[in-house]
Every structure is written in C-alpha cells, then in structure tokens.
Chains A and B, each alone.
Chain A
Amino acid sequence: MLTETGGVPLLVMRDLVIEASGAGRPQRIVDGIDLELHAGEVLGLIGESGAGKSTIGLAALGYVRPGCRFAGGTIHFNGQNLLDLPPQHRRALRGTRIAYVAQSATASFNPAHRLIDQAVETATRQAGMGRRQAEQEARELFARLALPDPDRIGERFPHELSGGQLQRVMIAMAMICRPDLIVFDEPTTALDVTTQVEILACVRDVVEAFGTAAIYITHDLAVVTQLAHRIVVLRHGRIVEEAPTRAMLAAPRETYTRSLWAVRKIRKAPEPDHGAALLELAGVGASYGSVPVLRDVSLTVGKGRTVALVGESGSGKSTLARVVAGLLPPTAGRVLLQGGGLPGRLRDRSRDELRRVQLIHQSPDAALNPHHSIRETIGRPLQLYNGLKGAARAARLYELMALVELKPELLDRLPNALSGGQKQRVCIARALAADPELLICDEVTSALDQVVQADILAMLQRLQKELGLSCLFITHDIATVRAIADEVVVMRHGAVVESGPRDTVLEAPSDAYTRLLLSCVPDVDPDWLTRLLQQRAIPGDMHDAL
C-alpha cells in the first residue's frame, strides 16, 4: 500500500467549480477544488452530506447531474482535459477507462435487464470485445468477487439478488474493461455492517489485483481508512484538509476533521438500575400476513433507562417498535406498561395509554407533514393529550423549543425551511409534547451526519436525565449504542440472541452472532480490515455462511 509519487498524475483537477442552478442565483456546490490522483492510488473523499463528495466523484467522469454545470477549472485525465472533449469522446472514456460504482446497487441496476447483459454492455458496445469473451470475463470476475454460482448468476434479474450481492455484481461491471480509475460512491452505505466488511474486502482485493486507481467516497472515516492511501476532507465544496491516511489519523490538523470522530467519542455513564420496570415484553410474537417476523421476544426497559435494540436489516427491530407503539397487534405474548397490559391494537388503547408511549421515526423528512408549520406540528399533541389552549399552549411551545435547543422563531416555519437535524429536533419535541414515559427511537440518527448525530445524541441524554424518560432505542450502529445505551438487546431473524448490560454485551459477548456483528464494526485504524480478514482466515462470504 505505497503511494506512488513519481510520474504524471492520472487525474488532475485544478480550481474546479461546479454550480447548481436552483431557485434564484446559481449556488457553488464545488468551490475551487484541486486534486491529484496517481495511477494505482486510492484516494478517500470524506465529508458530510452536501459537502460535494459525489459531485466531485462524478466530475472525475466528466459528468454533472442535471441542473448542475461546470463553471470553471479543468479536469485532466491522462493529460486530456475532459471538459474540452466533445461529448462522444467523453462518453467513450466512461465505463472503459473511468468506471463508476454507485451507492445503491439496488436502484442502479436496470430492473428490466438480466445482470449479465448489464455487466457486459460497456465491454461489447464500447470496447469492442466479443460477446462470448465479455461474458467469460464477467463470470471470472463474479467468481473472484465470491458471488454464489458465478456461472449462472448473470442470468438473474436484479430483484432476485440481495443488496450485497448486487453491489459485487456492480464492482464486476465496473472492472470488466479494466479501467484506469474507478469512482466508488458510498458503495457500502446502504448495507449492513457484516455485508459491508465483505464489500470492503472485495473492493480492496480488485483494486490491488488490477492496480486500479480509485476515488472512494464515504461519510464514514473508519471505512475510508481501510482503503485509502490518502484522505481528503471536504466541507461546503472546499477542501478542509488533505493528508496521507496514517498521517491524518495520527495528527488531524483541523478541528472539523476531528469532529468527524464526534459520535465515536461519546460514551454514556450507565444509569443505575432502580429495579422498577416501565415496559415489559413477554414472549411477544408478530407476523406480516402469514410471514412470522417476531418470535418469542422478551425484554424489559427499566424506569429512566435506555435499552438499545441492535440488529441488521430484517432482524425485526422496527417491527418490535411497531408492536409496542400499537401499530401492529402481536400474535402472541404480552406488552406491559408499568405492570398494566397494553392493548395490542391502537384503537383499543385509551388516550392516556397513547400519550405515555411516543414513537420517533428514522426519517424526519417523512415524519413531518410538509404543509403543517412547526407550531401546528408540536401544538397538536399539546391540545390532544393535555388540553392546552391559547396562552398556556404558547408558553409550553416555547418551553419545548428551548428543551430541544431550537429558536422560537422557527415555530412558524414549514418543515422544508429546516435542516435535517432541526427537523429531527422538532420530531423529538412533538414526542415530548405528550409528556410521555416511554420514547421509542427508531434509528433516529441514522439519516443524519456524524456531527449532527453527536448533537442529537447528547441532547437525548440530557433530556432523558432531566425528564426521567425511559427509552427503547433502535439502531444498527454500535457507536450509537455506546453513546446512549444502558442495556443492549441483540436481535436476529426476529428473535433475541443476546441481552444484558451494555459493557457486558459489547466487551464480552457470549453469542456467536453478537461477536460477528461486533467484529464487523470498523475501527478508525488502517490495519483493522487486514487484521479481521486474517483472523477469519477463510476469505469470502461469512454473512451468507452463518
């Protein structure tokens, strides 16, 4: 993993400016970027959403999204300025010399075509490879990337594969013409951690094997350190800091760079167990139609404590939240709130029972009515549950806004005038308006940037302490668990595999799956992936094997 320094760089961006023509005057989303990338080098681009990472990645292919335009600067690839090339010459480079791997493989494969047809398209149509040879090449790449049944998997349609498998097919598709440069645009963001490890291993394997240069875009510092020789930190379309990976980790210069670690540093001091249980689930089962999703789930949330519910997508964590909230009646078992049974169906619950359990969703964008002002959104539960009106209601509104650290001026805005973090605070304020005893937080920080996540988590901790709330916190992110949980419950395939105090479960897990899950959480350490793969000794598909 040596950075090649001699010779002419493969890719050079000089003073690159890209503008988005929104409402009103054009906005600079990439604002004077200088980048160099040598053959065989892996460059990590890291930053929050809106930092311009993807735009820069796409610019490396001489492409801007509709509504954007190149407004200045140059992009030289192999000595040619991509921006001066006629469109058909630029197109000829795409897929053959410069390839792209998209964030969501599920959305980026054409649902109407077989995978093999999509994988060989560039090779046969652009690079003049014969169909038979291209298919052979694709099958070899499928095998190299440890896809099951590599000789026949190409005959399938995209909807017939899992997200992780599709992401590998996409890497094979990018590799088929042996490009000089591949742009990886957050290829693991949509995947579970156990799948993420395998994709990271695949990316590193092919990039090293074929000596391909790569731009690896992510918001996750731990991920990028496993692959990149050099890291560029971006913010607001500008470069904040640039350094070789190990140098940056050892001594980050800018405070912004350090703040990217923010969430990982928070660690909650465990709340003492008072022994009193607020929420108890005993042998709960649930199903969607005839498909069982929860089997015999039992757990307890103590008064004033936070229980983190951990698991991969499809493990049933959100379904459990729906059962507790009354959105999905259980097929078996009991849900008890302070010793009293909670009716399974929402409409059978009394208004007071509804008030005591409040749910906060993952995506604040989807959870807020875009036509209701913040005042209406938070004011509704105040009136419904507590019968507050007029001046009393207004006073409580101001209190709630102060509680979630929002300025009262925002009360008369519509949700689309707020940032993602502000919207999530509004959702929290709406839940608090009911004076609940139990908060169910379903991945409430997953859609937010690291820095915003840290703020929201710190605020939730403070609120919990001040108001004595109990919290069922659903997440797939172990760093978040460390930051917020007193107890951890690990779920898999709709059942609880392990539960206990946070430090016991995280530091000394007794269950094999918990150990696998924890081992897959990347560390901010460039040797982490190498060590993990060595420990596993058997390369390949741990996730499907287990």
Chain B
Amino acid sequence: MHGVSAMIAQRIALGIATLFVISMLVFLAVDMLPGDPAEAILGQSATPASVAALRQELGLNKPLVVRYADWAAGMLRGDFGRSLANDRPISELVAPRLGATLSLAALAAAIALPLGVLLGILSTVHRDRALDRVASTASLLVISFPEFFTAYMLVACFSVGLGWLPAISLPNQGGFLETLTMLALPALTLSLAVIGYVLRMTRAAIMGVMGSPYVEMARLKGVGPFGVVVRHALPNALSPIINVVIINLAYLVVGVVVIEVVFVYPCLGQLLVDSVAKRDIPVVQACCMLFAGTYIGLNLLADILALLANPRLRRPRHREARA
C-alpha cells in the first residue's frame, strides 16, 4: 500500500507549497494597497512625526522580506499579530467568528449534503419520471435565485408570516436548541442552493456511467433499478460527486457574506469586509489565510477521497505482475 501513502504524501506536500505561495501573494497584494496604514489609523490630523513614530512601532519601515518573514513565522506559531484598529490580538477577534462560521457551515452541510446526494440518487433511479422532473426543475430554481432573495423569502415566510423562527441570528446565545433555532434560517438558505448543486452533479455523474457495459451487465444479471444505480453506477461516479461536495463545503465556509449581512450574523466574511474598509491589514491577511487554508485543506481532502474511491489508483496494475 505504500504507493498510495506516497501519493497522499505528495498531495499534502503540494498543498503546503500552495499555501506558502498564497501567503506570499496575500502579503504582497495587501502591501501594494494604496495608502499608508499608519496615516489611516491616526487620521488626517496626525502630524508627520506621530505617523513616523507609529510606522516605526508597526515595523512598516523594515524591508518587505523581513516583514514577510516575521509575519509568516508568527502565523506558524499561531500568532496572527494584533489588529491595527483596536490593538486586540487577532486570534481573539477571529476565534469567535471562526466558530460562528463553522457552526453555520456544519449545520448547512449536515442538511444539504446527505439530502443532495440522496435526491440525486433517487432522481437517477426514477429518471425521466415525475420525481426526477420535479427535482430537476426545483434544483434549477433554487440555484438561479440570488441568495439574498431566497433569504428574504424565507424570512418573510417563517419569521414575518408564521413567526416560528427569528429573522436575526445572534451566535452563542443560550443552549444548543436556541442556537439551532437561531441558525435555522441562514442554514436553510445556504442549504437550498447547495442541495441544488449537489443533486444535479450527483445525477449527472451517475447518468454519465449508466451507459457503461458494466451497468448493462448488472441489468442482465437481474439487478433491480435501485441496485443498478447504488451498487454498480454510484461507486464509479464518486469522484465528481466528492468534488462537488467539497467545493460546496468550501463555499459554505468562505462564501456566506451575503447571508451574514441579511441575518446580521457575525462570521469571518463580515470581519474581512469590515477590516478592508478599516484598512486593518493584519486582520485582512489573517482572514485571507484562513480562507485559503480552508480551500486547500478541503481540496486536499477531495483528492485523497477520490484516490481511495478508485481501485485502479489504489492498486496500480504493476502489483499484479508479481502475483
């Protein structure tokens, strides 16, 4: 099995290298933003002397390479630096936001992913019949609606109309059940689109292998329609399904700014937008790195899962020559 371990190690090394390159890009890009953070912090009335002093204190006068090395070394230790806006440690700022983001993403994923895959499978089993058509049209609809529209529709329905769920979601209030109620509407909004994507991709991936000779063989062995899809087609369609699931997971972590705004739910995306506006550069960098890390980590996971799901990659043919 060392062939697979080697392949996985290679992917992990590639992931780390990518993260390294991204860290440089993030650092450079933020550094190239027009304007001076020290001036921005002190405001227009600042004297040149005080600006210079602050620049000295922030280390902005050091060469770029040294600043990057300091910053990267700090991150490796888990120290993201201090916010320029309020001088608090960034980890303190980010941690609750990250927690809020992850709990929302987790809830949405827990609803959307199993449901999306299951509906996709059912659509192929019942292809071209009522269930398939309804699922196909409905998924296209929820994908096409802009998120804020879906969000407001849900709010109008469940908060304003029925009064069941709160329209504003504040994290970390009360127990598990309250948190769940708080998160219900944003999670539902996110879930709808994700269900749509995952359903359509699952269906397309399975349909792509339904014409294979081995699927026909399964039918000729007397396997029923459900068995044909689940036992014979699905295992060979896993790779694209894993990919779409992972991309959607990444979207749930990174791409939820609109939802945060609609439900006034303080996540990382909101923090990033605010920090850009305030020119709070260390926070911007920290958020970017967290997002990049999420993407790279999840894609790594997708690669490894796809590798494990394919026997031809798991057990390359030259093994057989010895046997």
Chain A positions within 8 Å of B, measured between CB atoms, are: 58, 61, 63, 65-66, 88, 91-96, 99-100, 102, 104, 107-113, 121-122, 125-126, 149, 156-157, 159-161, 173
Contact = CB atoms under 8 A, between A and B. Distances in A.
B222 A92 contact: yes
Contact of A107 (B213, B221, B311, B323): B213
B235 A110 contact: yes
Interface of B: 211-214, 216-224, 227, 231-232, 235-236, 309-312, 315, 317, 319-320, 323
Given A58-B220, A112-B235, A156-B320, 12 more contacts: A61-B220, A94-B221, A96-B222, A99-B221, A100-B220, A102-B220, A104-B213, A113-B231, A125-B223, A157-B312, A160-B317, A160-B320
A314 B103 CA distance: 56
A107 B222 contact: no
B213 A102 contact: yes
B277 to A, nearest CB: 51
A39 B223 CA distance: 25
Contacts of A102: 213, 216-217, 220
A518 to B, nearest CB: 28
Nearest to A174: B221
B206 to A, nearest CB: 13
B220 A110 contact: no
Contact of A111 (B220, B312, B323): B312
A159 B317 contact: yes
B129 to A, nearest CB: 14
A291 to B, nearest CB: 11
A112 B323 CA distance: 20
Contacts of B221: 94-95, 99-100, 121-122, 126, 173
B236 A111 contact: yes
A157 B315 contact: yes
A108 B320 contact: no
A108 B214 contact: yes
A122 B224 CA distance: 11
Nearest to B234: A112
Determine the main DSSP class of B at the interface with A.
Answer: helix
27 contacts: A58-B220, A63-B220, A65-B216, A88-B224, A91-B224, A93-B222, A94-B220, A100-B217, A107-B214, A109-B217, A110-B218, A111-B214, A111-B311, A112-B236, A112-B310, A113-B231, A121-B221, A121-B223, A122-B222, A125-B223, A125-B227, A149-B323, A157-B315, A159-B311, A159-B315, A160-B323, A173-B221
A176 B179 CA distance: 57
A149 B322 CA distance: 13
A96 B214 CA distance: 18
B214 A109 contact: yes
B223 A157 contact: no
Contact of A160 (B211, B212, B235, B315): B315
**3 cross-chain pairs, A with B, having the tightest CB-CB distances, nearest first:** A94-B222, A112-B235, A95-B222
A369 B213 CA distance: 26
Contacts of B227: 125
Contacts of A91: 222-224
Contacts of B315: 157, 159-160
A173 B214 CA distance: 13
A205 B213 CA distance: 26
Nearest to A185: B220
Contacts of A112: 235-236, 309-311
Contacts of A104: 213
A157 B217 contact: no
B234 to A, nearest CB: 9
A507 B212 CA distance: 43
Nearest to A92: B222
A282 B191 CA distance: 68
B214 A110 contact: yes
B34 to A, nearest CB: 51
Contacts of B218: 110
A94 B218 CA distance: 10
B107 to A, nearest CB: 32
B311 A157 contact: yes
A102 B221 CA distance: 11
B270 to A, nearest CB: 43
A94 B312 CA distance: 29
Contacts of B214: 107-111
Contacts of A100: 217, 220-221
Nearest to A97: B222
B229 to A, nearest CB: 13
A110 B222 contact: no
